[in-house]
Amino acid sequence: MAKLFLVRHGQSLWNLENRFTGWQDIDITEAGIEEAKKAGVALKKERIDIAFTSALIRAQHTLSIILEETGNTHIPVVMDKALNERSYGNLEGLNKAETAQKYGEEQVHTWRRSYDVVPPGGESLKDTYNRVIPYFEAQILPLLKQGKNVLIVAHGNSLRALIMYLEHLSPEEILEREIATGAPLTYIFDEHFHVSRKDS
């Protein structure tokens, strides 16, 4: 049996300011630090063998706090841009409400909440899925098959892609799924490698 823990990074400065963040390297706020600590407390009794995170500071900072809280600062940590947030391209840095005024609420909603519509210069969720899942299958799945417990600290949309894959969700179903910041999700792989989600 193996466990996979997924954590969305704590609140970032641009989450707070309601801006499109994407691949911009924005750190977490004081509230985000507290969320990361709570995630660490929630995972304290779990064995964690290896951790993966993105190339972005908000995920890396969240992970370092979790590892400190759980006493796992010695474990291997792998950072890879394959786990980065979805790129919002030309929208990055823009306030979401102001962007809705400029382009229309319906257009912005479509960019944010459709599966395969690409914002200007950015990625769709489908593009993100096609980057995250091959990496997961090549680098992380083999470790789970060895019985290792894996922690991934990443982003709303890179984690959506993973959840879609793990739970066999349709594009419509995954777009309805909200992923809270700093709240661990646990997936258990049994000896036959069937996956189940453990609700905390």
**55 DSSP 8-state letter:** S
The CA-based angle 109-167-155, given to 5 degrees, is: 50
Catalytic annotation, pick one of 35, 69, 85, 123: 85
Strand partners of residue 152 = 6, 52
Strand partners of residue 150 = 4, 50
Catalytic annotation, pick one of 9, 35, 69, 155: 9
Q: What are phi and psi of 140, to 5 degrees?
A: -105, -40
| Start-end of H helices in the chain | 13-16, 30-42, 57-70, 96-103, 105-113, 125-135, 141-145, 156-167, 171-175
User: Which residues, at least 6 apart from 199, have a Cβ–Cβ distance to it below 8 Å?
Assistant: none
Distance CA 182, CA 184 (A): 6
Active site residue 9: yes
Q: Which residues are catalytic?
A: 9, 85
